Structure 1
């Protein structure tokens, strides 16, 4: 079903409705979605073509960038990350999806029914920056490397601290021209009721890292994707 207006305009309408009626934003969002013919706002967002969103996000990221892709649970960050790798393959590039969280069956389930897994999927328990660099040593300009997810790179003590791993990944992106996107959690203190998309200050980082290593941040909320610079 085609929407009557772009998502950002519908969201703006919902914010105004919430203010005018003094109701929670999620109630207003659901009402707007019902007007569009959906059961709820989340139902409407789930119906959006993720592949189209992935193409738009990828077009906004320069080759050689280290990017963080972040959202609260249920916002579609993992599926969007997978679609970024898929989109690279469709565009004649190469795409890798490294996951410490999903099985191959889980990854396949993220795709639309009948869609093939076109990118290279790696579910090794040994995934870390060194493993990723060794597996993508022949990556080239515009290829896409997705890591699911950032916090799990810091899980094993045998691996270097996350700061060092990010520095290695940053150098790899710059040397090869590939786009490296690390999926990240957003702190549960993020207040979704404000209607804002999260930002760098909302990233859940158990151990301190220099966030300026990231060239861009792609933050999701309510079906909206916003690309931000660290500075």
Structure 2
């Protein structure tokens, strides 16, 4: 699948650095006029809005005109059996039930598990992000149900990590280096961090 994705590519007519430069720090997507200007300057690969847009069901990647990779597409990366396994165990998560009404954490009723789960074996507490502040395991990862979930999806996270090592080797190595440093200072870390690290099988420092 990775080889197929490498060989099949699509290219935009614009440079992603120009796109990033045109975005404001508070870009919300709700300013209709601004969105029209951005769309005119940075059009999609296929500009038709009808049935002429091809349906992509094979692995591929998308780059800008300078060759910067913007997207990897891996359809059916997980087998149906593994997807079902992951979905079944998602029901064991223990999310925060309170919603602030935004699209990020508000879901229709009767659509399975809802809420927010922030999992990280080691991060800075909000408002305590200075060089002298201690690292903490996220509150959610200390919930037994959420820790069990991570144990159950070890294989899926390992697969994602393997793919990440191929398509983003620098970031993958950076993630591993972070966890290696944590392991080398295990005695100085809180017990919740060390417990969380035992079930953490991804190069990312956090999952939501």
TM over 0.5: no
Tell me the TM-score normalised to structure 1 length.
0.29
Comparing both structures, which one devotes a greater share of its residues to strand? 1
Identify the structure with bigger relative contact order (alpha carbons < 8 Å, sequence gap 6+).
1
